[in-house]
Structure 1
Amino acid sequence: MQVIEDIVTDARSGSCREITLEQGARSCFSIPLTYDESVYGVLVVYGRSPAENWDTDILAEFGQTIAHTINAVETRSSFQADSVVELTLHSTAADTPLCRLAQAIDSKLEFEGLVSGTDDVATVFFTVPGVAPEQVVTAGKDVLGITEVTSLVERDDAPLFKARLSEPSLAGLVLNQNATVRSLRVDAGTATVVVDLPGSASVRTFVDSLAQEVPDLELLSRRTRTREPGATLQSTILERLTPRQQEVLQLAYRSGYFEMPRVQTGKELADHPSLAKRETTRQRRLIETSIREE
């Protein structure tokens, strides 16, 4: 946010000083409309008196609320579209936590899902074929951008892991642009991702924006297809949940809580760092109970 407390004396008023004073304005607030990584514009508010000692927190929150609403409307429109554009993207220079882990263990990783935590630390789920689980967990301790790696299911073909990420991931960058990750394969030094983009979205804008974060990004293919059955129902259900509820539900699903036998218990989920570190013991028990009831 930029604040001009007094248009008369602030040099930033520049050429607009005369006309704003004629309209009776003495102060100016420029409020960015941002949500996650998206910027929707700037809201400019003028005041009739100098803005000395004004509380701007309310204006900042107002800007965030507007941006969140715009994002929600765009997301709803995207999910209600009948068609999607499937893009296959490839990079040989993606420097993300999972790429570093793939290089450390000299093996490929298959992305399974990502939960964007409300504590700005994402939890990613992935499989690693042909590598001992303890080797992956040990290697993850020394990888920049990964704070924790946990082995969830030890399968012969491809054990399932989850990791806490303190840096942006390729999947997270895609999700932040209201796209869906269909598949993501990370090999030593390379990453190939297939995404679903809403049919009304601009492919060029999406690719250019992603390329700013991922060097050497290459668009390999593009095709338009009909949205899969059930996608609209899923989006409708998620719209009724708060971000906090979505985080808990997705962590439970991705962590294997609903599988038989269960991969993780309700207590283990309630102790997850993104949930436990901000909750009291009583609140964690409520989280555990709500997961079990669902």
Structure 2
Amino acid sequence: MGPSEDQSDNQTGPVVEIELTVQNPAYPFVGVSEEEQCRVELAKIIPRPEGKYAEFFNVLGAPPARITSHVDTYDTVETSLLSEYDDGGLFEFIVSGNCPAYRLAELGALPKTVEGVDGRGRIVAEIPPRNDPPAVTGQFLEEYSDFELIAKRTKDTHTSMLTPSTLQQSILNDLTNRQQEVLQTAFGMGYYEWPRDCTGQDVADELGITSATFSEHVFAAERKILAFLFGNAAKTHLTRET
């Protein structure tokens, strides 16, 4: 049974927080952080059809090209660079199954932190009062024996949780397919470089649309992205914290 809408942020009461670690490089967020000696932070995870997951990671401390090159060595992962920073970027990993964070959510432990730092993976999750912490933790560790439980704490309140129900509000899902295509094409052609590598007309010609249509799609998409970031930055952490 998948995560339910009942596991929501408006739940009150004491929760059990668990902290798990793993050093198996078979998980991309661990292997990439080890190979590049960087930090890999999960911002969002969205289930896809056929047992796949779209995982959005902030990677800090390594050139994006090297991250893409390393992730491409995983047969079960498809990589897209969504945004580039001076020393990292925001990536989308399409993963074919075997997602420990999502499995925790299915079992009732709702992840709030998933990160890999220099080859050491760490997941912090909260188990609401309605669920049995020993049962949830035991089942997870039985399925993922390479993980180790290093801490269990009781808290009076819970924080905003990384659940599939809230993740459906992702920045990409706010865009239409056409808006995504226009932005991805513009980004790939260097429209967002400074100075620009191409003009809006160049991108429009590539897409087979008019310059006015291109501008309309870009404006609408950029407005949605800005509204999402400034309205939900505290919850999503899609942007790099300063």
Output one character per residue of 1:5-33: Cα deviation in whole Å (capped at 9) or x when no partner. Answer: xxxxxxxxxxxxxxxxxxxxxxxxxxxxx
**Residue equivalent to 2:125:** 195
Aligned counterpart in structure 2 of residue 112 of structure 1, from 25, 36, 43 = 43
Aligned counterpart in structure 2 of residue 145 of structure 1, from 50, 64, 76 = 76
**Which residue identity lines up with residue 153 of structure 1 in the other structure?**
S
**Residue equivalent to 1:222:** 152
Identity %: 16
Describe the SS at the equivalent of 1:114: strand
Alpha-carbon distance, 1:158 to partner? 4.4
Q: Tell me which moved more, 125-134 or 172-181.
A: 172-181
Question: Alpha carbon RMSD of aligned pairs, Å?
Answer: 3.9
User: TM-score, structure 2 length as denominator?
Assistant: 0.62
**Residue equivalent to 1:89:** 20
Aligned counterpart in structure 1 of residue 11 of structure 2, from 74, 80, 91 = 80
Task: Map 1:6-17; keep pairs closer than 5 Å.
Answer: none
Q: Tell me which moved more, 97-106 or 177-186.
A: 97-106
Aligned counterpart in structure 2 of residue 128 of structure 1, from 25, 47, 59 = 59
Describe the SS at the equivalent of 1:212: helix
User: TM-score, structure 1 length as denominator?
Assistant: 0.52
> Does the 8 Å CA contact 1:152/1:160 hold for their aligned counterparts?
yes
Aligned counterpart in structure 2 of residue 250 of structure 1, from 157, 162, 170 = 170
Output one character per residue of 1:177-206: Cα deviation in whole Å (capped at 9) or x when no partner. Answer: 232212122145431111111123222111
1:156 equivalent in alignment to 2:156: no
Aligned counterpart in structure 1 of residue 97 of structure 2, from 167, 172, 175 = 167
CA distance in structure 2 between the partners assigned to 1:266 and 1:166 by the alignment: 25
State the structure with more CA Rg.
Answer: 1
Output one character per residue of 1:245-277: Cα deviation in whole Å (capped at 9) or x when no partner. Answer: x74x32537x9x6xxxxxx986217999xxxxx
Change (3 A) 1:205 1:136: same
Alpha-carbon distance, 1:119 to partner? 4.1
Describe the SS at the equivalent of 2:57: strand
The total of aligned residue pairs comes to 190
Aligned counterpart in structure 1 of residue 179 of structure 2, from 260, 267, 287 = 267
Alpha-carbon distance, 1:172 to partner? 1.6
CA distance in structure 2 between the partners assigned to 1:72 and 1:169 by the alignment: 17
Runs of 5+ unmatched residues, structure 2: 185-216, 229-242
**Which residue identity lines up with residue 112 of structure 1 in the other structure?**
A
> Does the 8 Å CA contact 1:183/1:194 hold for their aligned counterparts?
yes
**Residue equivalent to 1:177:** 107
Runs of 5+ unmatched residues, structure 1: 1-34, 37-70, 240-245, 258-263, 273-284
